[in-house]
A = this chain, B = another copy of it.
Amino acid sequence: METFSNLIDLDSYSPDEWNMIVELAQQIQKNPALYRSRCSGKIMGTLFYEPSTRTQMSFQTAMLRLGGTIIGFDNPSTSSVSKGENIKDTTKIVSSYADILVMRNPYEGSAKAAALTADCPVINAGDGGHLHPTQTLTDMLTLKNEKGRLDHLKIGLCGDLRYGRTVHSQLKALSRYEGNEFILISTPELALPSYIKDVLNARGCTYKEIYSLDEAITGESLDMLYMTRIQKERFSSEEEYNRQKDVFRLDTEKMKKAPKDMIVMHPLPRVDEIAMDVDDDPRAMYFTQAKNGMFVRMALIISVLEGRLGAPKLLTGTIKNDVECTNPKCITKTEHYLPHSFKVQGDICECEYCDERILLD
């Protein structure tokens, strides 16, 4: 098995390598014409097992602006994939057509599973609620462009901190930079899970939990406020949702009280957690951020296709085929041929696909 410069999990690379991608994105942004034939003759295969128009278009545009071309699917119900083909076979075949694969799949660990069998590098464009590394790189480029740095920032994160994949990834990434401080703004029910807090603690990061956006905005001198959606279904009842939603909604009233240089970011799509008239505020950076996603993906495609990121091994743990991952959304639940690989520490096995921790009896 050949190994490629896949991007499955940002954690496989060092902050130096993240910085390299972000800096290349900045160069591309400054002079895109220099890169317009960089991937000429190369084909990207976009395997979208669930719809994500924005992410897919961002990747497609990135490839086209590098002179490459695209094949792929975005609707498994109209593809042979729905005839029950396993990821290995699909990946084997499409990677024999394409030079780079971009995969979106609702199962956690699916991108790693794809990378195990693909004959070309794989980029993870979201594997369920697990990882979405190119969103995190997009956030980092936006911070770097707007704030000039990725360290010594005071960052507010507002919304569903419990289930929010982008929030978790960003915290894991930004906690690797010195001096960052996090203000966690959510309901108690949607507070950050303890395993992410463990990461912050282990890295000596300061964080504070606050239950009102207003308080965070007025009381803390935030450099950046990261808004995310709170899905209605996360609340115990419709009434509870209606009672709470405004507390975590950003509007022009709140923006008036916010620091003059506090930029606002959002991974989009938004529903109504940011009022539309905030869009006209020069501190609103979410559309800029979306555009940055294209530049970061251009930088990433170049880095991956040119092998600039090294080729970290995909599975480094212990194969224990008798142990089953307990996460029902883990890719090992549907792709039965995958080796059950775990990082073992004492009687805890951490699944190498979805990062679930399993306590052995």
Report which A residues bind B (CB closer than 8 A).
36, 41, 43, 45, 51-54, 57-58, 60-61, 64-65, 69, 71-75, 77-86, 88-89, 92-94, 96-98, 268-271, 276, 279, 287, 290-291, 294, 337
Contact = CB atoms under 8 A, between A and B. Distances in A.
Contact of A290 (B53, B54, B92): B92
Nearest to A61: B97
A81 B89 CA distance: 30
A97 B53 contact: no
Given A51-B82, A75-B75, A93-B291, 8 more contacts: A53-B81, A54-B80, A57-B94, A57-B97, A61-B98, A69-B69, A77-B78, A93-B290
Q: DSSP class of A's interface residues: helix, strand, loop or mixed? A: helix
22 contacts: A36-B41, A43-B64, A45-B57, A51-B80, A52-B80, A53-B73, A53-B81, A54-B80, A54-B93, A57-B73, A58-B97, A61-B97, A75-B78, A80-B269, A83-B269, A84-B271, A85-B270, A89-B270, A93-B287, A96-B291, A96-B294, A276-B337
A65 B97 CA distance: 9
Nearest to A57: B71
A271 B89 CA distance: 10
B72 A57 contact: yes
B51 A92 contact: no
Contacts of A271: 84
Contacts of A279: 88
Contact of A97 (B86, B97, B98, B291): B291
A56 to B, nearest CB: 9
Contacts of A89: 268-270
The winner among A79, A83, A93 for most chain B CB atoms within 10 A is A93
A93 B268 contact: yes
Nearest to A85: B269
Contacts of A96: 287, 290-291, 294
Contact of A64 (B69, B80, B85): B69
A91 to B, nearest CB: 10
A270 B53 CA distance: 30
Which 8 A-B pairs have CB atoms at the shortest separation, nearest pair first? A53-B79, A96-B291, A61-B97, A75-B78, A85-B269, A53-B80, A51-B78, A93-B290
